[in-house]
Structure 1
């Protein structure tokens, strides 16, 4: 009996071993899923690569896009009458001037009459720019922004556009004036925006010291000299000397903001100012074919001809008048009264007040961020020294920023959805050739994510 029982167990063991071996070699064999649980946070901290399923990956991408859509700036709506000139003042002080009868239907090309609805989104802060998925790049070149807008018009359910001979004037509020601001139009491609300089783009509020075409007095210089000589009433006891003056010839040709930068004596200086205030309109200076405000320096030499001049109520003293353009002096022109960049646009849609950031002297490099886990992440760098935001491009498991200035201080701001949960990484660093490997993602709530984004507004 014992021998038979032992033989049974031996046969049973052999049978089980054979079955187990056959299972391992079976191509259709699928091992049971492990019941060991690993947290998402732990997974993100490990150096191993975690491959999410295609379904989850698609869902994570959709949730990330939905986050941006939900947190984008809300549009402001204005109902205007197309038969009247209208000025719109937006929530963040943007001013938009629209001439009467400026619109046509995008569908039919016919003029729009009656009421039209204007929608405006304003993007001035870093958080607004980030949440709008915007950046400051023009054909690969870095821009410094003074504000972005999205302007659209609708009438009776149809989109509208500006007539070919019409423009809107936009005033972008500013704290400090920066030279070289231009208007850019934005175009979306593959969820990225690229900015292009608008035709004939100049800041109409800026006072230019260098222009393509200088202001011209009607009739020429000799008539201007004669006019000034006949309209300056000097005091009886005036003395010889030179009065240095500076004034602005605005885009309409008016003489404004007359100043004496170096004078002879107050009563003589005042007499010169009063005489210059009588100057008629000039033909204004131009940049890119557009009339602009121009600084004009004019030193006036006053020289006594004879004793009879002193008793003359209207001085006929010889005055040698010579226009002078001195770049060093002109840069000090008074612009304190200007609080806006004034730009003219012939298009609606995405509009940007920008200037090219001149970093030709800085070495340019490619900045690389290694994400380790995956590259399906929204990554931006925010520059500290100037208001610029750059979005990175995915390349395998890295994010690449091409041709940017080395040594600049930046903040990396990265958002991803992983297993349908939002994660955030924020890090201050400097642009260098060293690959950035140390981003630490932490799971965040929607409120936390929004608060962390708004903290970036303190950068600039």
Structure 2
């Protein structure tokens, strides 16, 4: 029945006309402390692979788990071995390692937290997830491998507001700058601001953004999308109003202009010049002397010591005061209600007089029993009254003890949260110290501009810190941990800040620069009048319309040194991208009858060519380094690729921009 359901589901997916993405999974249960595959496991995997292999493209995630017996470290290792043994089997069947990811969770994700044998058996498992993707076109591939997530802010538009985005873009919004599309007043409704920051080549590819205006080549400082709504309704700027946008720190260039996005006949985004120059706050174009030794000697760590977390033993959870209940009062029997239990024949043949005599006898027995019950009831009731008085005394005491205990638990939970923040701050600043040492070692070897660029690259680095929350809770609550976490509905995890959104070093570095304001580097910047509180190396512009904007400059060349690059038209909705290695330029070619071409490119320039296409619904990629010649007729070598490989190739392009 299960396989029949899977087959029906997959048939529906295979006939779907549009891109679809779904997931099916299989559970493999393991014996206690075992990670070896049995024949039953292997048969189960074979059957599962057979059921999903009808699809054109499938990726797998294998997740290992254990029960709650054993230490955390032991269970993490055991779950890893279980996942690896399943991966080895899967690898032999599908032959493509990049289609398989493995994870191991130890005992952190129990399906049944009870301590029974049957519950533990459910937890000793490996989950095999099959991610089934049916691609309709190449754009579907791009959407899956990279998504540019927006920043969203709900603001009070009646007040001046400054917001800072994930990548460091700063937006200054004046009060009362917006109105509804018909010109009516917004009132005091909240305005939702949506911002996308496209600063990397993978961002550009994801959003279909290229650095060209008609046939002209543009060099970009980054592209930003801004939109605003009120309860889903579009709004616009009031006449004469605008917002100021300050780009993240970078190497700035002269002659930058503001461009707005437009759409050509094919639906591709093009850029229209506004003839509005973009200003910059920078000292990179000035030949100034920077006292790096003085700047780098600043105490960036602020003397902050490594945080320490420790707790005294926690008392057992105090019991609640048990409210006493009165004993049941016995009912006094009556002669009329006393039952006479006789057999069937006696009911027919026993005389009425004999029945009444029997009833009186039973009544006397019931009355004697009642008197005994009454004596016991009166004693129990007296005891109940005593317990009521004891309860009245004990209840506030026990309630207070439980309240104090709960407050202590809450304080420890808050202490753990504070500790996590302190650890993050400590590691961020420790990482900054390491970055500063690295920069300091290069003083004298590199120019000031190169050193500033190196500082900027460090600012974008991820935070190197992993925190196992369960260990922190175990330290706080010992053997009461599970009970407390269940009561408080807390689900601890292993937090890797390097993979968390918004956890790069940019904000901390910005604060560092502000803290070092009186040191030589900023003193020199301030003398030039080109810096304002840490915004060095930033483009600044004002916009008065919503949508995509681009900070660009034209790159013009003598027509005599230009050449075309022609590529074989691979069909299958192939996408080509041409990226220059010495400037932030990414171009989209044009499709001819039998070829794909890029026109008017400067000769002798080193570029990287990337192609993505679908063949029988399977992703393919081609990547090539190339120097533009007088004549350029190329054929790219496409190969099958997993989404992981395509994502890795696109992300590797970003290093080209960061080195500029």
Residue 65 (structure 1) aligned with residue 262 (structure 2): no
Closer/same/farther in 2, CA of residues 208 and 433 from structure 1, 3 Å limit: closer
CA change 1:198–1:453 in 2 (3 A) is same
Aligned partner (choices 384, 408, 414) of residue 611 of structure 2: 414
Q: Report SS of the residue matched to 1:450.
A: helix
CA contact (8 A) 2:260 2:271 kept: yes
Of residues 532, 541, 561, the one that matches 1:363 is: 561
**How far is the alpha carbon of 1:400 from its aligned partner?**
1.1
Deviations 1:68-98 (A, max 9, x none): 3343301111001110111110000000111
1:436 counterpart SS class: strand
For the residues of structure 2 that align with 1:198 and 1:457, how far apart are their CA atoms?
A: 28
Distance 1:160 1:177 in 2: 33
Distance 1:430 1:125, change over 3 A: same
Residue 383 (structure 1) aligned with residue 550 (structure 2):
no
| Structure holding more strand per residue | 1
Secondary structure at the aligned position of 2:235 is classed as: strand
d(CA) in 2 for partners of 1:364, 1:334: 40
- Contact persistence 1:146–1:174 (CA under 8 A): no
1:259-305 per-residue CA deviation (whole Å, 9 max, x = no partner) reads xxxxxxxxxxxxxxxxxxxxxxxxxxxxxxxxxxxxxxxxxxxxxxx
Which structure 2 residues correspond to residues 395-414 of structure 1 after superposition, within 5 A? 395-414=592-611
1:366/1:402 contact within 8 Å kept: yes
**2:645 aligns to what SS in structure 1?**
helix
**Structure-to-structure mapping, 1:266-415, within 5 angstroms:** 335=530, 338-360=536-558, 363-371=561-569, 373-374=570-571, 376-415=573-612
Which of 273, 295, 301 aligns to 1:197? It is: 273
1:83 is aligned, of 143, 158, 170, to 158
Q: String of CA shifts for 1:84-125, please: whole Å, max 9, x gaps.
A: 11111000000011111111223x232323211011111111
- Runs (4+) of structure 1 exceeding 6 A deviation are 206-209
After superposition, the Cα gap between the structure-2 partners of 1:96 and 1:77, relative to the gap in structure 1 and judged at 3 Å, is same
How much has 1:335 moved relative to structure 2? 4.7
Residue 72 of structure 1 aligns to a residue whose secondary structure is coil
Give the count of matched residue pairs. Answer: 279
Contact 2:255–2:277 (8 Å) recurs in 1: no
Alignment partners' CA distance in 2, 1:184 and 1:459: 23
**Counterpart contact for 2:620–2:640, Cα < 8 Å:** yes
Residue of structure 1 in register with 2:89 after alignment: none
Question: What corresponds to 1:453 in structure 2?
Answer: 650
Map 1:431-446 onto structure 2 (within 5 A).
Answer: 431-446=628-643
Unaligned 5+ runs, structure 2: 1-55, 57-132, 286-526
2-side partners of 1:201 and 1:147: how far apart? 15
- Separation in 1, partners of 2:568, 2:630: 13
CA pair 86-397 structure 1, distance change in 2 beyond 3 A? same
More helix by share: 2
**TM-score, length-normalised on structure 2?**
0.40
Q: State the alpha-carbon separation in 1 of the partners of residues 652 and 284 from structure 2.
A: 36
1:153 paired to 2:351: no
Q: Which runs of 5+ in 1 are unaligned?
A: 1-39, 41-58, 210-331
SS in 1 for 2:614: strand
Whole-Å separation in 1 of the counterparts to 2:586 and 2:577: 7
The 3 A distance-change label for structure 1 pair 454 and 100 is same
Contact kept, 8 Å, 2:572 with 2:615, in 1: the verdict is no
Distance 1:100 1:344 in 2: 15
TM-score with structure 1 length normalisation? 0.57
Cα distance change of structure 1 residues 75 and 197 upon mapping to structure 2, 3 Å threshold: same
User: Secondary structure, in 3 states, of the residue corresponding to 1:109?
Assistant: coil
Alignment partner of 1:136 out of 194, 203, 211: 211
* Root-mean-square deviation over aligned CA pairs: 2.7
Q: What's the counterpart of residue 430 of structure 1?
A: 627
**Equivalent residue, structure 2, for 1:121:** 196
How far does residue 62 in structure 1 lie from its aligned partner after superposition? Answer: 3.5
Give 1:148 shift.
Answer: 0.6
The answer to whether the 8 A contact 2:259-2:273 is kept is yes
Residues 181-239 of structure 1: CA deviation (Å, up to 9, x unaligned): 22111112223111122253331646999xxxxxxxxxxxxxxxxxxxxxxxxxxxxxx
What SS is found at the alignment partner of 2:276? coil
Query: 1:459 aligns to what SS in structure 2?
Result: helix
- Evaluate the alpha carbon distance shift between residue 158 and residue 148 of structure 1 in structure 2; reply closer, same or farther with a 3 A threshold: same
CA distance in 2 between counterparts of 1:401 and 1:127 reads: 20
